[in-house]
Structures are given as C-alpha cells and as structure tokens.
Structure 1
C-alpha cells in the first residue's frame, strides 16, 4: 500500500480528500495535518510515501513546508500540491520545489485519481527495478514516461517539460484564465520559442485552444487555454 498524508487547514476538506484517496486502489491515508508544523512532524513520525499538500496553512505556507521536507534526510516523501492558489509564482514555486502535480481546488475525484494512478505507476516501476544493479536507459525512459499524461510529445519536446507546461496551463485555465507563450516561458524558465512549441503541441492534439488578443498596435497575442 502507498501511504498518504493529507495536509489541509480545513478539517472537512481534509476528510473529503482522505475519502477520495481511500477509494483509489493501492492507497491508504495514514494521517492528516492541519498546520505546516504538524505536517513536518507527521512526515517524520509516519514516513508517508506521498503528501497531499495545501498551500494556505495557518502558520507556514505550503511552499515553505515543501522546502523543509526536501531538506530533511530522515524522510523525503513525494508531494502533490492541492490548493486554491492560481498565481504563477505559487505554481513556479511548487515546480521548483519538486512537486509531482498541482491540483486547483475545487476538483473532482477523477482528477485526483488520475494523479494518484500516475504516481502509483512510478512507485511500482521503481519497486520492480533491482537496487543493486545499474539502471538501463530504457528503464529510466520508462520511469519518466509514467509521470507524463496524455499524448507523448513529438521528437524534440521533453515529456517532463511537457508535464510542467501542462500543469501551468491547467492552473491558469482552472479559474477561467489563459496564458501566453511569454508568461509560460517566465514561469518555466524556458525560452519563449520553446514554450510556444509545447503550447502549440497541446493545441494540435486537441487538449488546449488558442485565441488572439488584439492590442493597440503590433501583432495580436496568442493566448492558450486548457480544455
């Protein structure tokens, strides 16, 4: 079983999310925490494999908790951020902190199940590899491939970077917004040209749409929205 710690300042929300987790095969909730400090202590005591981490906590913000978890040798669980925060700075902080996924509240059970099943695939694949043998390139490719969703990007586009761009686009679109290639480039530290290639790939595969925003002068700006 994959052991999960649920961190949310709202007791009822934590209960709902715990119920979602319990419905997914192979997962069990080993504890809940409602403050950042309690979350850090719970990770040390319970040693979960995965933390569902809220950003808005009463003492420490979730990104501070994420940084603390990454710096602790005693326990280093994977993290899925679950939050109402939609700003790019928070999304960028979660990505740089090593979060696997970023879910905007409110979300459906199916949305969380998809992320959990993606994590379960990686968890099982890692367990199947011998710890005392060199890892072959095909094993690495398989592991990283399980962390991506949807259609595999074409040659020249990285599956991992595709996942990061997708998470940013999803986060902005969840609140009815959109993102330009320049904004995506700033959030991901890609070049504007590279960011646009990933965004156009999502449009071509039917997962995003693009519309033009006309300003006073110059060429119209292409704005992308996740479908």
Structure 2
C-alpha cells in the first residue's frame, strides 16, 4: 500500500534504486524524484546491499539492475518477489538484452523490463503508468475481465494500445506527468506551457485522456465560450 503525504491525498511511492554504477544510480534517482508522487528512499550498489535495504526501508518499488558485483540481479529479483510476505514491486533496468534474461525476469515477477540506454522521459513515463496502475487497483471494489485486462496492460504498454494514430507514449507520459504534478485543473494552454509542447499537441492528448476517463474535464463559463479545464483525479 503506497504511503501518503500528510498534506495531500496523493500517494507517495517509495523507491530503492539498485545499480552498481554510482553515476547511473544518481541519474536514476534524479529522474525518479522529478516525477510527482515518487521519492527515492535509498540507493544500493550491490545485491546484498539491495536485499538489506529493501528489508530495512520497505519500499513500494525497486528499480533493479541485473549486473551486480556479488549476487546476480535475477537472483536478487527472485528473493525480492519469491516470498508471500514480500509486497515490493520491481522494474528491471539493465543493459542485458538476451531473451533468456527477459524471460527469467518476467517469470520471477518483474513488472517491466527496461533496456539501457533510454531517455529520462521513458523512465518518467513508466513511473507515471506505474502510479496509474496502482491507483486503479486501489480504487477497485470488484473487477470485471475488461478492467483486469486494462490494469495488466497499463505498465507494459504505457497506454499505447489505446492511443490514436500519431500519438506517442512518450508525449502521453509527459502530458500525464504535467497534469498530475499540477495539483489543480489546467487549461490546454497552461499544460502546453508547462510541458514544453504546442497547444494543439497538448489539446490532442488531453482530449484523448478525457475520452478514456483518465482525467476530468470541466467547463469554466464566462462571457464567451466555456473554457475547458483538465484535472488529474485525486
């Protein structure tokens, strides 16, 4: 269960970053802490350190490299996810591209397998989709098959299976993160300014998110045409 901020109802996901390279770990930390609702509570640079830290700080999510100096990353993954008492989620982040590693990671419970190198926006998008998946699960009272299929597809597809032609998962993640971190309803122009995209681009993605029920669409009435306001649901 995600921890919550005292001043907000938004969940805070506690993250442990595991990478044998101190510089890479620091880069991943910076990306994670740029995403609203996430905080890095520890860094580990070996398998033994990772297992101990996860035991001590009880994070929600581990970003796990497979190339570690002492214990193979896949073995660390097995230990993290192999017990019924363990509730931590794991996203594998690695340069290992062989099919055997991917297959083994999936078999041992990794939520996602992210291959290095990648841009910061790719990791930000996956974290945003992870938060969306967890929030959707928490909000469920009872799930039908369609809802279960949607939940399972969110992180692995980034919602791209539902995207119209010409829309990219990376831009979708940027728009979602902009709206999530705002904490208030925004116009398409305000989203565009904060996200660094054009207003028509922001409007296309916001309209898509509103159509599929991911965000709230409200109207502000004045002397002219009503203004569209978009808000991430709390």
Could you state the TM-score of these two structures normalised by the residue count of structure 1? 0.62
Structure 1 stretches of at least 4 aligned residues deviating more than 6 Å after TM superposition: none
Offset at residue 138 of structure 1 (A)? 4.1
Output one character per residue of 1:104-135: Cα deviation in whole Å (capped at 9) or x when no partner.
222110110111111111111112124xxx43
Is 1:25 the equivalent of 2:36? Answer: yes
Gaps of 5+ in 1: 154-227
CA distance in 2, matches of 1:144, 1:95: 13
Q: 1:187 — aligned with what?
A: none
Q: Say if 2:82 and 2:108, in contact at 8 Å, map to a contact too.
A: no
Q: Say if 1:8 and 1:54, in contact at 8 Å, map to a contact too.
A: yes
Aligned match for 2:93, one of 72, 82, 86: 82
Matches within 5 A, 1:133-172: 134-147=142-155, 148-149=157-158, 150-152=160-162
- CA RMSD after TM alignment: 1.8
Is 1:58 the equivalent of 2:66? Answer: no
Gaps of 5+ in 2: 1-11, 164-234
Is 1:14 the equivalent of 2:25? Answer: yes
Q: 1:109 — aligned with what?
A: 120
Could you state the TM-score of these two structures normalised by the residue count of structure 2? 0.60
Aligned match for 1:72, one of 83, 98, 122: 83
Aligned match for 1:34, one of 37, 42, 45: 45
CA distance in 2, matches of 1:146, 1:84: 23
CA distance in 2, matches of 1:106, 1:145: 23
CA distance in 2, matches of 1:136, 1:69: 29
Output one character per residue of 1:45-80: Cα deviation in whole Å (capped at 9) or x when no partner.
111111000000011111000111112344331111
Q: Say if 2:97 and 2:115, in contact at 8 Å, map to a contact too.
A: yes
Offset at residue 152 of structure 1 (A)? 4.6
